[in-house]
Copies of this chain bind each other. A is one copy, B any other.
Amino acid sequence: MRSSIEESVLSRIRPTPEEKEHISGVADQLIAVASGIGRAEPLIVGSVARGTFIRGDRDLDLFLLFEPDLPREELEREGLALARTIAESLRAPYHEKYAEHPYVNANLDGLDVDLVPCYRVESAEAIRSAVDRTPFHTRYIEERIEPYVDDVLLLKQFAKAGGVYGSDQMTEGFSGYLCELLILHYGGFTELLAAAVEWKPRTLIDPGEHRIKDFGEPLVVVDPVDPGRNVSASVSLDRMYEFVELARGYHENPSDLFFFPRPDEVFSHAELEAVIQAKGTSLIAITFSTPPFIPEVIVPQLRRSLDSVCALLERNGFFVNYADCEMNEDRSMLLFELMNTETPRVRRHIGPPLWNQSNADRFIAKYCGYDPGIFAGPFIEDGRYIVEISRKFTNVEDLLRSADVLDVGLGKHVRQSMSGHWEVHSGVACWSPAFAPFISRFLVRKSPLMRILGNGKSRE
């Protein structure tokens, strides 16, 4: 028996008959056109093929399966040509994109259609690139999912609302295929949530009972079509436990807020000032033009840049309480909450251990003389020489406006953008309408469950 909350949610997220009809019409059209030209077998994959898409989804994937004896360069050339021809013959505006292979992204009757060439291999273990696996996933799910379509829809909506849906690097959460496998394994949405409440790190699920290796990730769901692959490899420990927390919270207080949460509170400029004042910490942000590439390329670079600048700050005596990054359309931001914006002039410089005699001698030759820039030492600590010398920056803004920032690991496109220009904002000057939602989440930082419960409370 489905609860009335869930029935009500389903009535809002099941695709409408018109929507289904429209999408399957477009799919039929694509298959018809693709079958008429070229030598590839066309196949609709993804949630549309499986019937597990949520109302309003506009994504459709047409895979073009070539024989595996085709050399890779020919697959790329012929596959791309075929995809282009299909889009053109349907008069759909399109452009080329690049994953492991190039593919075509077209807009057809309001749907976002990917036309993806791949190999038709014997089994998912014989794949030559990651996309070759997708047809096997679609077949596996298609054969089993029919009784559980509503459960998948509920789970996807629940995971989206909780911010844990998506296997991209920004989210590190649950993919659509993973959601389907979890529903199949536990036998329904309610059953999955009851089990997840008890999940421990290194939880192992092996629907195909064919695991061939140990996986190190916190959640392991062995791919039923490939015993060497963990479908939930992308799920971070924190995302896994945010899901567990949501499952516990929903079990205790079921509510439609778990599917349709109230929007997050966004601080005004004045509210931001009051929050910073109360915490006593200091906000500082670096912003620059967002490089003109897709999030899959830029987000990992932003994360890497964030880690590198955090390390730069700590090395320079500025202690980071929290840091995060955001990629907006025009500008990207690295945001830091600091425990201090000034640091003493002196810094420890750790030298070689004394048992490395040649290095120790060089160190001493450099630092033994009288020098007003040497505040203390050289002295010996844990067998190493230590000297206390003058640091370059005692103010954090001076550091972040200096070219030292460009010397840390930023990733290619972020470095290119910052080499042109970057800005440093401090305190309330970090605020802008575009970044206000991000900054508000950053400062309040609540787990998904707390956000769902808390938003309710603070609005009462």
Contact B380 A344 (CB under 8 A): no
A423-460 at interface with B (beta carbon < 8 Å): 443-447, 450, 453-454, 457-458
Main secondary structure of the interface of A (DSSP, over half): mixed
Contact A339 B355 (CB under 8 A): no
A382-407 at interface with B (beta carbon < 8 Å): 382-383, 385, 388, 394
Alpha-carbon distance A345/B275, docked complex (angstroms): 12
A221-251 at interface with B (beta carbon < 8 Å): 237-238, 241-242, 244-245, 248
Contact B241 A383 (CB under 8 A): yes
Contact with A354, one of B244, B340, B379 (Cβ below 8 angstroms): B244
Contact A200 B355 (CB under 8 A): yes
Inside 8 A of A354's CB, which chain B residues have their CB? 241, 244-245
Inside 8 A of A280's CB, which chain B residues have their CB? 343-346, 394
Inside 8 A of A279's CB, which chain B residues have their CB? 344-346, 375-376, 388
A377 located at the interface, meaning its Cβ lies under 8 Å from any Cβ of chain B in the complex: yes
Contact A458 B378 (CB under 8 A): no
Contact B446 A377 (CB under 8 A): yes
Contact A377 B450 (CB under 8 A): yes
Inside 8 A of A364's CB, which chain B residues have their CB? 450
Alpha-carbon distance A59/B281, docked complex (angstroms): 59
A294 located at the interface, meaning its Cβ lies under 8 Å from any Cβ of chain B in the complex: no
A94 located at the interface, meaning its Cβ lies under 8 Å from any Cβ of chain B in the complex: no
Contact B457 A369 (CB under 8 A): yes
A199 located at the interface, meaning its Cβ lies under 8 Å from any Cβ of chain B in the complex: yes
Alpha-carbon distance A319/B248, docked complex (angstroms): 39
Q: List 24 A-B contacts (CB under 8 A).
A: A199-B355, A218-B383, A237-B383, A241-B354, A244-B354, A245-B354, A248-B361, A278-B345, A279-B344, A279-B388, A280-B343, A280-B344, A281-B346, A319-B319, A339-B344, A368-B453, A369-B457, A370-B454, A376-B444, A376-B445, A377-B446, A379-B445, A379-B446, A379-B450
On A, residues with C-beta under 8 Å from B are: 197-201, 218, 237-238, 241-242, 244-245, 248, 275, 278-281, 317, 319, 321-322, 339-340, 343-346, 348, 354-355, 357, 361, 364, 368-370, 372, 375-383, 385, 388, 394, 443-447, 450, 453-454, 457-458
Beyond the given pairs A278-B375, A376-B446, 19 more chain A to chain B contacts, judged by CB atoms under 8 angstroms and listed by A's residue number, are: A198-B357, A199-B355, A237-B383, A241-B354, A241-B380, A245-B380, A279-B376, A280-B346, A281-B344, A321-B348, A321-B388, A364-B450, A370-B454, A370-B457, A377-B446, A378-B450, A379-B445, A379-B446, A379-B447
